[in-house]
Amino acid sequence: MTGRLIALVVLAAGTVAAEQPRVASVPIAGLREGESQSVAVTSRGRIELAPAVSRLSRPLASGDPAQVLAVATDASGRVFLATGPDGQVLRVASGGETSVLYRASEPLVTALLLLSGGDVLAATAPGGKIYRITPTGQGRVWSETEERYVWALARRPDDTVLAATGERGRLLAIDRAGKATVLFDADETHLVSLALAQDGTIWAGGSGRGLVYRVDAAGHGTVVYDDELPEAKSIAVGAGGDLVVAFDAAPAPDKRPPALRLRVGGAGEGVSDLEGQSGTAIQGVIEGLSSSVSDEGERLRGKLVRIAADGTDEELWRSQDEAPFATALDREGRAIFATGEPARLWRVESPHEVSLLATLKEAQATAIVRESRDLVVATSNPAGLYRLSSQPADAGMYTSPPLDAGGTARWGTLAWRAEGGGRVEFATRTGNSADPDGTWSPWKGSLTNAQGSAVSSPEGRFLQWRARLVGGPGDPPRVTGIGASYATRNRPPGVRDLRIDPASGAVSGKATLKWSAADPDGDPITVEVEVRKAGESTWTSAVRTDPPAAKAGETTSTSDGFYKDGRATWDTVTWDEGVYEVRAMALDEAANPPGGGLSSTADLPIVVRVDRTPPEVRPKRGPGGAIDVEATDEVSGVARLEIVQDGKVIATPRPTDGVADGSRETFLVPAPASGKAEGRTFRATDAAGNTAEAQAPEP
């Protein structure tokens, strides 16, 4: 039974002897599987108070729409949502009351822009119309862009409106009367994102080639970044002129097996593969053929890139699973981005660390807009609206995924490392099912000693801990490592696949025995090979292999249940000849208290024949000059007969029954073609390798 430490964050490095506590690490990504309430989890395994998240919108009486494609706010705290597929513009009052401001004839409202007088510009698709909507909900077509899509809107200080469009990838400049002219024509199908710098520089992101453009006031465009992903989904501009750009790609297509469609002809023509023919269609898949979609390995789904004012770039985050739908900068200049599914909010702490701030109940977080201090986040499927505060929450809770000891365990102490002010306290619970349910113990303890607090939860295979973080003076609390020590009830080691070399199972001297052994607790294993003569009841130890002494920094454990091969040599010289049963027994006594070790044996013993006596060979003359050779061996059996002449084997005859495998075998050796058998010797070998020879009889 081996004491150990399970840790979600590595608390120490290296391995130690099996009888001492060890450190096991869980991938830091596993922290995301826990449950967070106002707690952020970073990609480096830190747990800290997250910005407070509060819901802003109340559901519509008729039900919220499915998608939010854009969000905008005004100075009074009202929020406007561009939605689909019902083509609505929603208005959310500061108290959360949600109403429909305007309904367009097109299915999608793709972009919003608030004007100084309180009117709202709403771009729609398909058709590329831009509506001007008054605060009372009266709307009219303000601009016919003659483009199919308008994906983003922005406004210059001179009140010129900029529109990023598709399917021709144009950036439009629209005057106060709604007249649109082409300012920049990109070499891309769509322009999908827009941002204006304080100096008036226009930044535009494309879809199709993943290009980021810088466009000046005269409409001259330059590519500043070319990404491997096809779409620059969202752009945020910092005060110093640097950009944070969110790139995404479509999800990988489903792998489908090759399909087959047969059509039974309606005019007695049998089976036809021509579309449009009458008759009954039979469809199915072709088994055994590979998918029509090739396996491209790890397919990148999304990334976040910072582009500095001098043109240098730095990747901040990437994922094979999640795509960033929107990004913005908080008041400290840190990038906040939104993904799905489910809807998640992230913050970039450094180029090599991101924090998961919140997981929302909707499917995607699709739009972010900056208020004076806070951020407003819109979600889709269904539509929702949240405020992400600029300040951390006063308190938060994080519940870990269950930790698995591999067997019923006594849990010792919980230890962690904490930084900052405030207070951190832990509670634990245990159970024997992988998913916590009603059979688990209740939460217990208010553990506050970071150096090691005793776990008072009862024995159980699984343990779950819960951390409560409370802010206070100074920096908010941060937990950077959590571990729980435990000792499992001892479980027996296992041994299997016992085998012998030579494969014949017969030996005259030394035999090599091989097996595979493992211990579910990772204890070092002693393997003892025992033998007994056939028909006897007492087993006797033949050879014992103790685990090697561990060197500094090494362990003799068997890697927690993974079988490892072992071997030993059994010298049979001092053993009586005969048939023996041989078994292997695995023991873990060296790693347990006196009397606490357990053992197990291989499923079935193997049979080994110890034979040091050579076979007997009796040749005699037969009819027509042939020779009958009888070979006998009572212990291991006759394996073969060889004809030797002038020191060379000239033939190996078969026995009369076809197979040399019995204790008595006869061989019929025909007369040689020359008619002379003088000088020939018959050499018999038994299964243990013993040999005997006899001369051919005189004629």
In angstroms, rounded to a whole number, what is the distance separating the alpha carbons of residues 139 and 629? 113
Name the DSSP class of 320.
S
Lowest mean pLDDT among 12-26, 92-106, 334-348: 12-26
Instruction: Give tens-digit pLDDT for 460-481.
Output: 999 999 999 999 888 889 998 8
- pLDDT band, residue 409 (cuts 50/70/90): confident
**Average confidence score pLDDT of the chain:** 86
Give the containing element (helix H, strand E) for 134: none
- pLDDT band, residue 352 (cuts 50/70/90): confident
pLDDT beyond 80 at 279: no
Q: Is 384 helix (H, G, I), strand (E, B) or coil?
A: strand
Largest alpha-carbon pair distance within the chain? 130
Neighbour-count burial for 584-601, b at 16+ CB within 10 Å, e otherwise: bbbbbbebbeeeebbbbb
pLDDT of residue 676: 63
Q: pTM for the complete prediction?
A: 0.71
Q: Is 591 helix (H, G, I), strand (E, B) or coil?
A: helix
Instruction: Give tens-digit pLDDT for 157-212.
Output: 999 999 999 999 999 999 999 999 999 999 899 999 999 998 889 999 999 999 99
- Rounded to 5 degrees, φ, ψ at 362 are -80, 170
CATH code that applies to domain 494-610: 2.60.40.3880
Nearest to 615, CA basis, from 646, 640, 591, 595: 640
At residue 594, what is the residue type?
A: P
Instruction: Give tens-digit pLDDT for 127-146.
Output: 999 999 999 999 999 999 99
Nearest to 229, CA basis, from 299, 295, 165: 299
Number of residues that make up the chain = 699
CATH code that applies to domain 3-50+395-488: 2.60.120
Q: Please state whether beta strands 190-196 and 202-207 pair in parallel, antiparallel, or not at all (unpaired).
A: antiparallel
CATH topology assigned to domain 616-695: Immunoglobulin-like (2.60.40)
Per cent of the chain over pLDDT 90 is 66
User: Up-side HSE of residue 441: CA atoms within 13 Å toward CB?
Assistant: 21
Give the containing element (helix H, strand E) for 162: strand 161-166
**Mean pLDDT of the 261-273 span:** 46
| Domain limits, the chain | 3-50+395-488, 254-295, 494-610, 616-695
In angstroms, rounded to a whole number, what is the distance separating the alpha carbons of residues 175 and 194? 17
Spell out the residues 6+ positions from residue 312 whose beta carbon is closer than 8 angstroms to its own: none
Instruction: Give tens-digit pLDDT for 298-332.
Output: 689 999 999 998 889 999 999 998 999 999 999 99
Contact 370, 387 (CB under 8 A): no
Structure tokens at 337: 């981005």
pLDDT beyond 80 at 26: no
In angstroms, rounded to a whole number, what is the distance separating the alpha carbons of residues 467 and 463? 13
pLDDT of residue 23: 34
Domain 494-610 and domain 616-695, same fold? Reply is yes
